[in-house]
Amino acid sequence: MIPRLKDKIALVTGGGSGIGRATCLRMAEEGASVVVTDMNEAGGHETVAQITASGGAAWFDRLDVADEAGWQGLIAAIRARHGRLDILVNNAGILIMKPMLETSLDEWERIFAVNARGVFLGCKTAAPVMIAAGGGAIINISSIYGLIAPAGATAYEATKGAVRLFTKGVAAELAAHNIRVNSVHPGVVDTGMTEAFLRDAAVTDRLLGPTLIRRPAQARELANAILFLASDEASYMTGSELVVDGGYTSQ
């Protein structure tokens, strides 16, 4: 069987842990050369080490997704090294679980810088490379909190809602260039970001809420969904929302 991403060049932000690492590993398994980025250099290098130990191809670049110059330098490096970019996964994000009245302006601006500005900069800087190559696929990681808005995470919900609609707008703008742009909406996922919440069974049960599959998702389950959107199997999908939430939003 031919690997689904054979000879593709994929860039994954936040690839040093969690969903990002799992996505890097799955894409490498399917034949992609993976550019791993993260602020966490140790985690990013560990992801690369895992890929290369299994015979895959990957390299690491430290990236603050909120920094435009950093994005420009990374895309220039990808151009020089590979000549093109086929897949972008805007995965990097931070989580602030606070009610609006307890959220500081600094926290509001920081979470928007990473979760929303980072996605904008990724799409803006990567799109010209994809256009030059004749097309590509962009996957932006939102959340079920980009679809619904329970109390207690207002700033996070605002950023993920922004990612959802931004994705649709970019899909409309880039369709003529053969670039598909979709969003993924995870429910509760067992990663380093949620580890502190999931240590307590009662808290886990509360976070799962109406989830029909009564457990958190594993990062690889999200990576499989992202892989699908990146592959030609999703060739007729753009501007779509792929919800991977164990049935949370079905109720």
The predicted pLDDT at position 192 comes to 74
CA distance readout (Å), 205 to 19, 180, 197, 219, 234 = 21, 36, 10, 19, 33
Helix, strand and coil percent figures for the chain, each rounded to 5: 50, 15, 30
DSSP lists the bridge partners of residue 8 as: none
- Single-letter residue type at 234: A
Compute the residue count for the chain: 251
In this structure, what are the phi and psi dihedrals at residue 216, rounded to the nearest 5 degrees?
-70, 155
Q: How far apart are the first and last CA of the chain?
A: 39
Query: Residue 143 corresponds to which tokens in the numbers above?
Result: 């959340």
Under a CB-based contact definition with an 8 Å cutoff, are residues 138 and 181 in contact? yes
Q: Which letter, b or e, does each residue of 165-191 get, where b requires 16 or more Cβ atoms within 10 Å of its Cβ?
A: ebbbebbeebeeeebbbbbbbbbbbbb
Q: Which residues are part of the catalytic machinery?
A: 156
Domains of the chain: 9-241 (3.40.50.720)
Query: Residue 108 corresponds to which tokens in the numbers above?
Result: 């509001």
Taking the mean position of all CA atoms in its chain, how far away is CA 40?
Answer: 16
The predicted pLDDT at position 198 comes to 74
- For the chain (251 residues), the mean pLDDT of every run of 10, in chain order, is 93 97 98 98 98 98 98 98 98 95 98 98 98 98 96 96 98 98 96 74 86 94 98 98 96 78
